[in-house]
Amino acid sequence: MLHAEPGHTAAADLLQQTSGVIADAARGRIPWPEARLTYDNARLPDALLAAGAMVGDRQMIAIGTRLLGWLFRMEMSGDHFSFTPAAGWAPGEPRPGFDQQPIEAAAMAEACFRAWTVTGDGVWRMRAIRAVWWLLGRNDTGMVLYDRVTGATGDGLMEHSVNENQGAESTLAGIAALQIAAMCAAEGRRATKV
């Protein structure tokens, strides 16, 4: 709304209030505004980054970047992402490995891309690309979730297979993530020409 109508005070107030709730909650024992990582996790830091950029709040951008950095570290296993499975996870609990969902890769790619565009720090560009690699087989099993022939994406990464269902949510997540990779590549090419 604020993109279309920058002077819309109700939208600005709502944005400030809701992002403030996330930012305040992120000051707890762990730097995460919820007790557990569950579903579509990177949307929270992404929201702070977007809100901070929209209203010019550097502190909100810093909190969003810190949250995203913490989530990045929690979701990495060696050189690849190992996303929090559908059952969720909290620090201190044994970490379940599966089923991991494509929406996590898309959310992480989008949040890292936003962090890159907001901060200018190229490490976020590479992290966005790394999130997309999860769909292409750089994950806990080495299995590819994105079907290059049909453009669809499997519904989940299971311990010994890919969920063969290719629902709309997963397919749209795959398409969104690949679009982020394309934008990262285009910006990378543009940067090397300067």
Question: For position 28, what pLDDT does the model report?
Answer: 65
Return the DSSP state at 107: H
Three-state secondary structure of 120-172: CCHHHHHHHHHHHHHHCCCCCCCCCCECCCCCCECCEECCCCEECCCCHHHHH
Grouping H, G, I as helix, E, B as strand and the rest as coil, residue 77 is strand
Are 97 and 89 in contact by the 8 Å Cβ rule? The answer is: no
pLDDT digits (tens, 9 = 90+) for 50-85: 999 988 999 999 999 999 999 999 999 999 999 999
Class of domain 9-193: mainly alpha
Share of the chain above pLDDT 90, in %: 71
Residue 89, pLDDT > 90, answer yes
- CA torsion 156-159-162-164 (nearest 10°) is -80
pTM (2 decimals)?
A: 0.89
Max CA distance (Å), the chain = 52
pLDDT reported for residue 17: 75
Cβ-contact 173, 146 below 8 angstroms: no
Domain boundaries in the chain?
9-193
Which has the minimum average pLDDT: 17-31, 48-62, 94-108, 123-137? 17-31
Q: Which of 106, 105, 87 is nearest to 97 (CA)?
A: 87
Structure tokens at 170: 């997963």
Place of tokens 């991991």: 100
Question: What is the per-residue pLDDT across 163-178, written as a single tens digit (0 to 9) for each?
Answer: 999 999 999 999 999 9
pLDDT at 35: 84
Tokens of 5: 């109508």
